[in-house]
Structure 1
Amino acid sequence: MRVVIAGGHGKIALILEKLLSERGHSVAGFIRNPAQAGDLAEAGAEALAVDLEKATADEVAGHLTGADAVVFAAGAGPGSGAARKETVDRDAAVLLADAAQAAGVGRYLLVSAMGDHLRADPDTFDEGFGIYMRAKAAAEDALRARSAPRATIVRPGLLSNDPGTGRVTLADRTGTGPVPRADVAAVLLGLLEDTRLDGRTVEVIGGDTPIADALAVLTAH
């Protein structure tokens, strides 16, 4: 399987790249800074210099030839301004979908954010976080409205850099809670390797269920 990851130098992305490579998959990551290429190589991934805030859909599609799936794991980051939350968390996610459709890529995994209640009343939070939540919600809505690529949306809880446990709570709705980035990456790997959850929106937080079992249970419902 060939997977291309937007935000290829992100913390979740680097872990996912290593997992995919170790499983024998071909993986590439979009980076804006060529100096980051060595980190991707160490993870077993090909580095592709692509700036989703500047590239056209046709340019991005040219980098997706032969890909089976794309993963959007990019983000403007907590220190970014309002404009970049819109151009990255919303617009770049949609641009990647346009490019994937043009390149004939059938599957798209979006790393989103948890909380329908946050989307319903984002003005209860500081301006930056409210814009971020609106951007994530708009990206989700845009992807769901498409027939291709088929989008699977993953909403993790509060992300941490703690070591992965290999155990999670995974469901359509989980409630809030923390989750190591390593466990989110492992869930993404499982979703990429099993198409039965394509098109679903799932939430993930830390828990007691082995990831493989959590995916199997969700698949059965």
Structure 2
Amino acid sequence: MNIVIAGGHGKIALRLSRLAAARGDTVLSLIRNPGHAADVRETGAEPAVCDLESADAGEIAGHLTGAGAVVFAAGAGPGSGAARKDTVDRAAAVLTADAAERAGVRGFVQISAMGAGEPPAPGRGEVWEAYIRAKGEAEDDLRRRDALDWLILRPGRLTDDPPTGRVKLAEPPIGHDAVTRDDVAAVIVALLDAGDVRRRTLDLLNGDTPIGDAVNALR
């Protein structure tokens, strides 16, 4: 499969590109900073410099043409303010979906966050509220798109622990807990293969079910 990852230098994105490239997929990773190109190449993916905050849909579509699926893994990241939560976590997601439609790519996986679209817990602060709002609005936009076979994946609290290969994967709510970034990447690979699992919003935590079985249970 030809896969394009938007936000290709993120922690999940690098793990995803490594897994996908290792099994023979062609991976193109869109990155903002040219200095990250070597890290991307080390995973087996090919980097392409494309700033999702300044590009237009036509430029992004040029990178997506011929892809089997797009994975939106971009995020403003820790330390960014409320304004960039909107420009990256919402606006860039919407723009990338626009580009996928323009390029004729139907498969679209969006990495979101648990709690997206819900009122944020009191006391979490302005930036967290902006983040959850941005993720929720990006999800809402995707659900309105008939031209995309979308999937929204909402991981729990992310960790860098070793992969377990076992998860809890289902439509929300499923509770709150942690999930390793390696397991998130492995679930995305499995979901890309499961062409009949689409137009679903899925929460993801570490759990007791092998990843393959958890994805097959959605069919």
Q: TM-score range by the shorter chain?
A: over 0.9
The Cα shift of 1:120 comes to 3.0
TM-score under structure 1 length normalisation: 0.96
For the residues of structure 1 that align with 2:96 and 2:191, how far apart are their CA atoms?
19
Structure 2 counterpart of 1:121, from 113, 119, 125: 119
For the residues of structure 1 that align with 2:7 and 2:22, how far apart are their CA atoms?
20
Percent identity, aligned pairs only, is 56
Question: C-alpha offsets along residues 160-212 of structure 1, whole Å, 9 cap, x if unaligned?
Answer: 00011111111112211100000000000001111111111111101111100
- Structure-to-structure mapping, 1:20-169, within 5 angstroms: 20-115=20-115, 119-122=117-120, 124=122, 125-169=124-168
Q: AA paired with 1:115?
A: G
CA contact (8 A) 2:118 2:132 kept: no
For the residues of structure 1 that align with 2:3 and 2:76, how far apart are their CA atoms?
22
Q: AA paired with 2:36?
A: Q
CA contact (8 A) 2:194 2:215 kept: no
CA contact (8 A) 2:73 2:110 kept: yes
CA contact (8 A) 2:15 2:185 kept: yes
1:5 and 2:2 aligned: no
The Cα shift of 1:122 comes to 2.3
For the residues of structure 1 that align with 2:5 and 2:148, how far apart are their CA atoms?
15
Secondary structure of 2:196's partner? Answer: helix
Question: Per residue, is there more helix in 1 or in 2?
Answer: 1
Aligned to 2:203: 203
CA contact (8 A) 2:179 2:204 kept: yes
For the residues of structure 2 that align with 1:2 and 1:164, how far apart are their CA atoms?
25
For the residues of structure 2 that align with 1:64 and 1:217, how far apart are their CA atoms?
30
For the residues of structure 1 that align with 2:171 and 2:121, how far apart are their CA atoms?
25
Aligned pairs, how many? 217
Secondary structure of 1:40's partner? Answer: helix
- 1:123/1:182 Cα in 2 relative to 1: closer, same or farther (>3 Å)? closer
Secondary structure of 1:62's partner? Answer: helix
Cα root mean square deviation, aligned: 1.0
Q: AA paired with 1:57?
A: A
5+ unaligned residues in a row in structure 2: which ranges?
none
For the residues of structure 1 that align with 2:191 and 2:119, how far apart are their CA atoms?
30
The Cα shift of 1:123 comes to 6.6
Q: AA paired with 1:122?
A: P
5+ unaligned residues in a row in structure 1: which ranges?
none
Q: AA paired with 1:31?
A: I
Q: AA paired with 1:111?
A: I
For the residues of structure 2 that align with 1:121 and 1:179, how far apart are their CA atoms?
23
